[in-house]
Chain A
Amino acid sequence: MNSPPPRILIIGATSTIAQAVARCYVGQQATFYLVGRAAGKLAIIATDLLARGATTVHTQVLDLNEHAGIESMVQQAGNQLGQIDIALIAHGSLPDQARTEHDLVYALDEFQTNATSMIVCMQAVAQHLAQQRSGVLAVIGSVAGDRGRGSNYLYGAAKAAVATYASGLRARLFREGVHVLVIKPGFVATPMTAHLELPARLVASPEQIAQDIVQAIHHRRDVLYTPHFWWLIMMIIKLIPSVIFNRLRL
């Protein structure tokens, strides 16, 4: 089973989950196009992937809140890679919900990072994949997008926008041979969650999440809950009647 080496675009490549996903593909001599904001970290990740067996690693420093650069970035990635087999959109931040409740500028900034910028990236990548009539677009959403909870609804709303947009994109691109995957991680040990007091048993490692993502990309799944038990947890949370849900501190 010698599948050709995959050509992979990763947007938000310095995120912990993105790094773990990239490492899963080095054994297949993958070629990468990494996009991120922090030039130093991006260069270190590129060197690391090369040492671990990647064939070529291109990098581009870009602030993804600058929407104007996104389309040409995807173009550039397509040119460098020849073709984009897999595109992973992984950037994001975890807003301080309490602050979003009184600081609207901050709230909209966070929404912009976690929803608008993601949508612009999805749109640009989808356009490119549709033209080449192949490829998988994988985007990192969250279980938080499944139902707005009092403790985290700005982030949840942004991730819901991502999931809904991706669902529509998937339906539109179905006939073009392009697939769209929404990844909904639960709690993952990353810098984003480092300051939270999370129940140890529910926190997954980025490596575990990455393996699930690689499988889901391979099998062209529509939606991935990772670890899988989050599917059940979120099903229950979605089914709680509002009268009760409103009284819970979730």
Chain B
Amino acid sequence: MTSRIRLFLFGSLRRQLIVGVAAVHAVLMTLFIADIAQKQKAAFLDYQLGHAVSLVNSLATSSASGTASHDIVGLQELVDAQTVYQELKFAIVTDVNGMVLAHTDHARVGQHLLDMPTDPLLKIISNSLTLVDVATPVLLMKHHVGWIRIGIAQTGVTQKLNDISRKGLLFTLVTILTGSLLAWVMGRQFTKRLYVIKSVMEEVQAGNTAVRSDVSGSDEAADLSAGFNSMLDKLAQQIVERTAAIKTLCESEGKYRLLFESAGDAIFIHDAEGHFLAVNSLACERLGYSHAELMSVPLGKLDTPEQSWCVQDRVAHLMEHGRHTFETAHQRKDGSSVPTEVSARKITWDGQPAMMSICRDISERKLAEVEIHQLNNELEQRVTERTAQLKAANQEMESFAYSVSHDLRAPLRSIDGFSLALLEDCGDKLDGEGKDYLRRVRAATQKMAQLIDDILKLSRVTRAELTSETVNLSTLTVSIAEELRRTDQQRKVEFVIKDDAVTKGDPRLLTLVLENLLGNAWKFTSGHAEARIEFGISASDGKTAYFVRDDGAGFDMKYVDKLFTTFQRLHTELGFPGTGVGLTLVQHIIHRHGGTIWAEGAVDQGATFWFTLG
């Protein structure tokens, strides 16, 4: 019931406004009316009291002598004369002791009034709307001779005051009604704008988020409307953003799923206690478990028994360092093992610390490693074997060279020796032709001996250990040139030798190179009356190239390829003796020094041999 009344009174802003205005009016008007009535009442009382005081004083004056003399008749007349005042209730004259000498009520003459004041001063005994009772002493020659007491009662005052109250109530009601009416009108006007916003709100609630309130003006309702619209806009924007974010999140989740599920490696995510939080389908497939089965496998059981003992250590390492890469072997459901390389790292999963292990099946790599290992072993063995063979071959070569140097020469010596013996001892039995044949035999043996020596030299160069020292090619050239000059002092050969051609290499082998090149130059310029042999330096491809140049017989560039081939000769034995080993030897030494050698020449124009060293 109370709630109904409350709903009725305060159910809407309009009603609240009306009730409020009515209540305000009621309170104000009531206070106003009450105040007026009160003031009216006070005014009446003042008037009555004044009237009573003036009347009692006037009577006291006029009755002074009568009272002193106790002229009861005169006093009675005087009192009766006062009854012309309608309001007068009573008028009493007493002596000093309060005995009534005259009274408007004749019957009470001679009685004593007990409630008279003690001091001879004006005293208001009662002052109310019903009765104003005033007593004043009667003084004759300043002697207190008696009392005058007057009672006035204005019977109409209460009536008037009641009238005032009734009218006030009426005014109050009228004011309340008018106020409520005005309040209703204003409330209606005021809330009309709020209702617009309310209807918009209801529509938005119903789902039409695009609608906006249209309240113009600059009052609070307009502000509210604008605020409400802006709130709706923001909400709409937030919804758009939220939708976009959700979409992105969905896409991201989709991508993650795609990556997670289509990864080429098995992925396990587990918490610090070793419980799996997620595994991808490749993990299930590889280990032969269903997803549910694998999720319930303890971490320690994922590895083979041989590996599982170090799972705790790995987890500890991972927790400490954040990431850990290691090789292990996982165990399939059927008990077989998968060699696996694990790349694990610490991550956060649903707000909790977790570990993600990306596991690569390295079976093939392992097989390949085993294979490589085997191959390596085989290779090593083969190298060892081959080295041994080479060593043996080298030794064989050495002993062969040794044999050649000893044994091949011995028969030659015999042939030569006995041919000469034959010539010397039995020369008289041979004709010219026979002697010539024996000379040819001897020449052939010399040639053969030279060939053997050259081959041995070549083989020695091949086998010799290479040393690396500072070598001055210029001084070497000078001394070789002097040596050559000594062999034939008749020849006119000019040597032009570049100074300070210093390099690094094997001094003995480089001496052989220069001996051969300069020897060749010397030999092939022998047909010229005057010759010039030059040793110099030039640059070739950023490297230092040394050269030996002569102006001798030269050669045809057509056959330049054959220059460095063993036993190949471009000239006949007749003019320029030789075995065809020299340049092969030179080339071999240059190659052993990491250098190259090449030649240029023309028939009868001379030849130039260049070489680099490393």
Question: Are A and B a genuine interacting pair, yes or no?
Answer: no
B residues at A contact (CB < 8 Å)? none
A residues at B contact (CB < 8 Å)? none
